Structures are given as structure tokens and as C-alpha cells.
Amino acid sequence: MASKFILGKVSETNLRGVRPELVAVVRRAIELTSVDFRVIEGVRSEERQRQLVRNGASQTLNSRHITGHAVDCAPLVNSAIPWNDQSKFKAVSDAMFQAAKELGVRIRWGGDWNENGRSNDEKFYDGPHFELRRQEYP
């Protein structure tokens, strides 16, 4: 069965420079997802990371985005990102983890930093963020 969603031009542009293992996960996830999503950010500069920390949108200067080990994928509902609907971000997460499992890639989600299967205990919920695990992809 053909996927009902595809990665658009913005997403493909934002995947440039991202590690191939993670690009493969994103491309497979768009085929599996129950909710459309867009790659809103891939590789970012150190200056952009510093600005995000200053703005409170990130908590670290040691971001996996700088090295191409992370992407931000946001759900799209009627062409808009439903920032306050964690269930939509969880749906993207489900597709990302299914794709990662199929491809044998280990990822971590910013909606469950401590990897206990819950998002309601996170001090800093970052629903769009997916990264290759440091242990396997230094």
C-alpha cells in the first residue's frame, strides 16, 4: 500500500547534512505515520544553538543538531503545527520508532528523554526532537 504522506521540499532541504542512518529513519517514518509531519530542522550552526538556549527553546550547547545526529520533526494538521497537542507529536514518535526498529537504528526522542515510555515526567519536553543515541553513534 502506498503511503498517503511524502516528505516535501522543505523537509528534504532540512535533511541535508544529517547522518544517513537518521535520514533513512525519517524517510521510512513518513511512509508509516498516521499523521503528516515536516522536518523543521536538521543540522544547525553553533550560533543558532546558542540563540535557542538563550531563548529557552533548548537546554544545551552540546546539541546533536550541530553534528547532524538530530532532526526536529513536527506534525502537520491542515498545514499547521499543532504545538499544544502532544498526541500528534507522539504519533510522529511512534512512526519514527517503528522505522528505526525496522532499520536497526537506535534513536532517542525529546518527548521521553529518560526513555521510560512516558512524556509526563519530563522536565523539558521537546516533542519534535529525534536524535541518534550517543552510545551507538558518538
Q: Is the pLDDT of residue 2 over 80?
A: no
- pTM recorded for the entire structure: 0.93
Q: What is the mean pLDDT of the chain?
A: 94
User: What is residue 3's predicted lDDT score, i.e. its pLDDT?
Assistant: 65
Find the mean pLDDT for residues 77-82. Answer: 94
Domain membership flag for residue 54: no
Q: Cell triple for residue 29?
A: 517514518
Residue position matching grid coordinates 528534504: 12
Domain membership flag for residue 1: no
Q: How many CB atoms lie within 10 A of CB 128?
A: 22
Domain membership flag for residue 80: yes
Q: Give whole-number Cα distances, 36 to 86, 92, 120, in Å.
A: 14, 8, 23
User: What is residue 92's predicted lDDT score, i.e. its pLDDT?
Assistant: 98
Domain membership flag for residue 76: yes
Domain membership flag for residue 56: no
Domain membership flag for residue 129: no
Q: What is the pLDDT of residues 98-126, one digit of tens each?
A: 999 999 999 999 999 999 999 999 888 99
Q: Cell triple for residue 67?
A: 553534528
User: What is residue 134's predicted lDDT score, i.e. its pLDDT?
Assistant: 87
In the chain, the number of structural domains is: 1
Q: Is the pLDDT of residue 1 over 80?
A: no
Q: How many CB atoms lie within 10 A of CB 2?
A: 5
Domain membership flag for residue 124: no
